[in-house]
Structure 1
Amino acid sequence: MKRALILVLFGVLGWVWAASLAEVYDRVDRALSGVRLGPGAGAALDQAQSALRQGADLLPPVLRDALLTNLQEARQAVAQKSQVDLEARLLLIRHLLGKALYDAFFEAKAKGSPEAEALLERLGRAVGLPPSRVEEARKEKDLNALRTSLERWFTNEVALDLNRALGAGSRPEAFLRVTRAYARFLVVQDSPRSTLKARDFVNVLTLISTGQPFRPEVQGLIAKVTAWRKALQATPAQAQAAPQAQTPSAPATPPPAQSQPSQTAQGEGSAGSGTRQPPAPPPQAPTPSLPSPVQAAPGPESAETFYTPSWMDPATAQAVRQKAKDLGYAYNFELLGALEDVREEVGLAVAALGQGNAREGRAHLDRAFWTFRTRVEPVFAEIHPRLTERISRSLTHLPQAAGIRTQDALTLYEALEALRTSFFQGPRESFWLNLKLGLLSLVGIPRAVFFLLAAALALFPLYLVRLTFGGRNLYWNLVALAFLFLLLPAIVEGLSYLGSILADYGGLPALGALANLSIAQGLFPYLAWGVSVFLVVGFATAGLRGIAAQFGLLQGREAVEATQEKPSPTLTSETIVEWDEEF
């Protein structure tokens, strides 16, 4: 009975995973449908990124990282007004989602889950499967035969795109054809029958965009695809059983394919980052940069050039070298350069937030997060795991939080500097830094609600002062002003968070400028708070002194002093009237 309940529970969890993945695709597809070169492209990409973040736990990590990296590249293409680069990015994003749907569909179909239908429908839309193929996949019961059939279709499409690239009349057209072939290859890249690698496509794209001869390399790709198609036609039943062991959560089951999805994000991710010549229709193809250290793993000898400080024990040094080798770092300055890139993005976020531009600040923090996750965190997790985990958690949280302030980004900058220092001097714990990083978890709605509540409660004492004395007494009015300036920072802070919330969630971006009133935002609010302290002292002193004079406290003391210094000669014991405290 217990075993049956466990099986039912796992089945339900699998159904929820598949259903949620289909919903994530719907939201991303709906957002991407509005991405065009123009003013609304940034907002559409923000919606797609938000949808991917909400469903990040449902995607394999390498696919999730690849998707978000290509979204960032698409944003850059929009900024540079490159239609070719934007189309290439959208192709990769849709087919990377197709890869996730492809694996999830086979898992759901193997379990007999009813969500296999929904996943198949989304898969067809993502990769452009014809309706006849979708219907065939729906009816096919043999998973091995179905996988082989779909693989044949993908390889045919890859071959067609590569042949069209050979006959393309311009480099932009050839670039898009090869990118489309590359995107379709990524869906079935785990096939044990394929000798193709993502690096092969990246090299061809580099040749196209840099103006070098590329057709011989395209012909080489076609030859490999042809061999793959022949292997599919002659595949025995024993070879077809291998793909069944794949799971949707694994980046790639065969060892050669494990780094390919990450190459999608990193190797191909640079396809639109190069310089372009603005004139000349037809437009020049986007220029991919040469493979960065993250994109191509070096040979075994490169790990020996990676310097490790003397404080590391042999096991730690070996683990750090291995992680650096996996990321393609041959020297430690390359790793530290990647960390410097993260710090630069955080510094730009500080500048943007200081000017009240929360949207640009979030974009910089988001880029810092993905650079940190893909190029820094794997190595530093071996050096200083606690600080690395705290920084990663803070970078995950801040770009999505409402009401982020300059001080929040400065705390991250400080933590990144501490992480850099740990490479040379070893991991050290800082209580103050850990406390500040822990407080960053409150950034967003919890902190905004706290200050809104403080602002609302600060008005209550002012109301009571006004109610008690009615404003008729000048000195009590001065005391009320002292209370006002004493509580003014809390009121202004609450007002600034109200503006941030309305800007982020209420569709009123102009109110985001109220964030500049926050004391955590910059120098002006800090100095204004200092001035308010002087006003509190001045008004409180004037008001309380006047009240003391009205009660006769100051006059009585002066009279007593005068009497002690010079007694009146007409004073007798009968004329002395003592002060009655109860009078």
Structure 2
Amino acid sequence: MKRGVALFLWLALALAAPLPELYDRLESALGQVRIEAQNQALPALEQAQSLLRQEGEVLPPVLRDAALLNLQEARQALLRKSRADLEARLLLVRHLLGKALLDGFLSGTGEERAALLGRLARATGLPQPLVQEARSLPPEGARRLLEAHYLQAMAEDLGRSLSAASRPEAYLALARAYARYLVIQDSPQSTLKAQDFVQALAKVSGGEPFRAEVAALREKTLAWRKGLQPSPKPQAQAPTPTPSSPLSSPTQAPPPAPPSTPISPPPSPVQTAPAVETFYVASWASPELASQIRSVAYALGYNYVFEFLADLDRIAQTVGLASSALGRGDTESARAHLASGLFIFQKNAEPILSLVNPDLSEMVRKGFTTLYQAPGARVIDTFVLYDAIQELARQFQEGPRSTPWLNFQLFLLNLAGIPRATFFLVAAALAFFPLYLVRLTFGGRNVYWNLLALAFLLLFLPILAEGLSYFGAIMADYGNLPWLAALNNLSIGQGLLPYLSWGLSVFLVVVLATAGLRGIAAQFGLLKERGAEVAPTAERLPSTTLTSETIVEWDEEF
């Protein structure tokens, strides 16, 4: 009991670890990742993933899940010995942490603020003079200063990508620009979208022409940086009109007016027309709700409804891939697919679906998070999540409706992990006591009693296998014994083979119990042979003489 309380307190302290300490430990692990030493790099990546899973509560879920996904991709790049991809993934992980560090720095005070700024400088490569200047500025001034630095560095990285002599070099420079963008992606002056970077990176890695997309990103970056200093220009233009020439000013005023009027109207139709005219919302939605859905969809980059539905299919596909990975016992790949699905859902789908059915969309997000973190997730768990995603897509097209059975299944899905593992482990442990009593009761020399005991054993076998599978899952996740994850395949909820094995054990229970009980009934004279006549009672009266030869044990054969 004391050991369990101590473990609980240790876990609570670990989860409450501050962000600077988490960054230090992650950076220590990531610093050991080198493509030349895979034997050292793979355990370091596993350590970084464990840190994020167990102590990443201080990070926003979106950042933590994205970092875990990139760590999984870094592992694959390490196995492929792709230097550019490995470096790009580590850059993204560090800058995702940099985003959390920047937010903490802007909202922090005192020594905590200085500590966060120091880690931000290490994570994103800020020069020391800039760090000292940002430390002395108020939050808004520091934000604009750091944002301008990141934008300048992004423009330089995009320029290097355009002039790169090889695709790996262009890919790495573009990934570095994308990583810097992630730090300042929530800026109110932002003119870029993460999707633009992802599409450009896909073209670079896929061997397609990419320079037009990178050039457009660079132009938007420069325009964003230029828009950070709009204040000096109006002040410089304000004193220019002088009242000294009242007669000439009317003749000079009309020329500036015409250019200002055509510049302002175009943005409104350009922004609203695609969203209103092309993003179709079904007739079940009221005009106000339809307009709200369209505006959110346009802000997310969806000009057509089929683009949004395609992303929903991508989310469902990640759940299917996770189900396949769980079926073959590959929990790491399953978690990577679930993290990818959760990231896409939170980033692109939930803002729209929460307008359609906020309760169901929230339960789906919680289901993703639960399955991602749960030790001993089962294939049947992913079916519930897949059905919920399909139901959300159906409600988006047909309107919200009540789904009590699906809601109940999603509620049960939240019990996956430690609560469900504890239940089955306790049930498996308690099953040994009735098995012990069965051994005492039916463990004699009578073959029929032994058959009955064997039937009881097979009856309890599924719960023992389920408890053993959860024991392996917990030891693999928390005991640093990944090879025990193979015990997950003993669970009935994993696939066809365990299910058929359970059916075979039930069949054997029926056969053995029938044989044993029939033999016992025959021994006690409860069964009569066919065609045999029942003798009169008087003729079958037992002898009253008792000898030692007529005394037998109750569990022996007569």
Counterpart in the other structure of 1:30: 28
Match of residue 112, structure 2, among 115, 120, 139: 115
1:346 CA drift (Å): 1.2
The answer (yes or no) to whether the contact 1:195–1:224 under 8 Å persists in 2 is: no
Q: Deviations over 1:79-102 (max 9, x none)?
A: 665422332343343234334323
- Amino acid across the alignment from 1:33: G
Q: Relative to structure 2, which stretch is displaced further, 504-513 or 448-457?
A: 504-513
Counterpart in the other structure of 1:446: 419
Counterpart in the other structure of 1:344: 317
Counterpart in the other structure of 2:379: 406
Match of residue 278, structure 2, among 282, 305, 319: 305
Counterpart check, 1:492 vs 2:489: no
**Distance verdict in 2 for CA 1:416–1:106, change over 3 Å:** closer
- Amino acid across the alignment from 2:350: E
Counterpart check, 1:381 vs 2:349: no
Aligned-partner Cα distance in 2 for 1:334–1:414: 20
Aligned-partner Cα distance in 2 for 1:96–1:441: 28
Aligned-partner Cα distance in 2 for 1:473–1:502: 41
SS of the residue 1:403 aligns to: coil
**Distance verdict in 2 for CA 1:428–1:517, change over 3 Å:** same
Q: Deviations over 1:50-92 (max 9, x none)?
A: 5455666645677567656655665665566542233234334
The answer (yes or no) to whether the contact 1:411–1:436 under 8 Å persists in 2 is: yes
Q: Relative to structure 2, which stretch is displaced further, 318-327 or 454-463?
A: 318-327
1:397 CA drift (Å): 0.8
1:463 CA drift (Å): 0.9
Q: Deviations over 1:290-339 (max 9, x none)?
A: xxxxxxx9653333222222322323322222222222222222211111
**Distance verdict in 2 for CA 1:201–1:361, change over 3 Å:** closer
Match of residue 300, structure 2, among 327, 337, 344: 327
Q: Deviations over 1:458-480 (max 9, x none)?
A: 12122113224553332322221
The answer (yes or no) to whether the contact 2:326–2:378 under 8 Å persists in 1 is: yes
- Amino acid across the alignment from 1:456: A
Aligned-partner Cα distance in 2 for 1:488–1:154: 61
- 1:73-92 maps to which residues of 2 (within 5 A)? 74=74, 77-78=77-78, 81-92=81-92
Q: Deviations over 1:199-248 (max 9, x none)?
A: 89949878977556679779868976996798899999xxxxxxxxxxxx
RMSD: 4.4
The answer (yes or no) to whether the contact 1:298–1:330 under 8 Å persists in 2 is: no
**Distance verdict in 2 for CA 1:136–1:401, change over 3 Å:** same
The answer (yes or no) to whether the contact 1:404–1:443 under 8 Å persists in 2 is: yes
The answer (yes or no) to whether the contact 1:20–1:55 under 8 Å persists in 2 is: no
**Distance verdict in 2 for CA 1:119–1:339, change over 3 Å:** same
The answer (yes or no) to whether the contact 2:15–2:56 under 8 Å persists in 1 is: no
SS of the residue 1:318 aligns to: helix
Counterpart in the other structure of 2:508: 535
Aligned-partner Cα distance in 1 for 2:524–2:81: 76
Counterpart in the other structure of 2:98: 98
1:402 CA drift (Å): 0.7
Counterpart check, 1:359 vs 2:332: yes
**Distance verdict in 2 for CA 1:40–1:62, change over 3 Å:** same
The answer (yes or no) to whether the contact 1:165–1:178 under 8 Å persists in 2 is: yes
**Distance verdict in 2 for CA 1:43–1:304, change over 3 Å:** farther
- 1:252-331 maps to which residues of 2 (within 5 A)? 300-331=273-304
**Distance verdict in 2 for CA 1:428–1:46, change over 3 Å:** farther
Q: Relative to structure 2, which stretch is displaced further, 435-444 or 182-191?
A: 182-191
Match of residue 126, structure 1, among 87, 106, 123: 123
Q: Deviations over 1:405-448 (max 9, x none)?
A: 11111121222222222233322223322221111111112111
- Amino acid across the alignment from 1:348: L
Match of residue 423, structure 1, among 384, 390, 396: 396
Match of residue 21, structure 1, among 16, 19, 22: 19
1:375 CA drift (Å): 2.1
Q: Relative to structure 2, which stretch is displaced further, 221-230 or 424-433?
A: 221-230
**TM-score of the two chains, using structure 1 as the length reference:** 0.70
Q: Deviations over 1:136-162 (max 9, x none)?
A: 655x47667766765676566567656
- 1:208-223 maps to which residues of 2 (within 5 A)? 210-211=208-209
Aligned-partner Cα distance in 1 for 2:196–2:524: 90
Alignment size in residue pairs: 491
- Amino acid across the alignment from 2:483: A
Counterpart in the other structure of 2:521: 548
**TM-score of the two chains, using structure 2 as the length reference:** 0.73
**Distance verdict in 2 for CA 1:350–1:463, change over 3 Å:** same
**Distance verdict in 2 for CA 1:355–1:158, change over 3 Å:** closer
Aligned-partner Cα distance in 2 for 1:225–1:315: 32
Q: Deviations over 1:337-386 (max 9, x none)?
A: 11111111111222222222222222222222112222222211122222
Aligned-partner Cα distance in 2 for 1:44–1:165: 30
Q: Relative to structure 2, which stretch is displaced further, 502-511 or 46-55?
A: 46-55
The answer (yes or no) to whether the contact 1:298–1:328 under 8 Å persists in 2 is: no
**Distance verdict in 2 for CA 1:303–1:506, change over 3 Å:** same
Q: Runs of 5+ in structure 2 lacking a partner?
A: 1-13, 236-269, 545-558
**Distance verdict in 2 for CA 1:433–1:402, change over 3 Å:** same
SS of the residue 1:442 aligns to: coil
Q: Relative to structure 2, which stretch is displaced further, 512-521 or 545-554?
A: 545-554
Sequence identity (%): 51
The answer (yes or no) to whether the contact 1:479–1:540 under 8 Å persists in 2 is: yes
Aligned-partner Cα distance in 2 for 1:312–1:18: 44
**Distance verdict in 2 for CA 1:190–1:510, change over 3 Å:** closer
Aligned-partner Cα distance in 1 for 2:400–2:140: 51
- Amino acid across the alignment from 1:410: F
- Amino acid across the alignment from 2:450: N
The answer (yes or no) to whether the contact 2:66–2:340 under 8 Å persists in 1 is: no
Counterpart in the other structure of 1:391: 364
**Distance verdict in 2 for CA 1:432–1:206, change over 3 Å:** closer
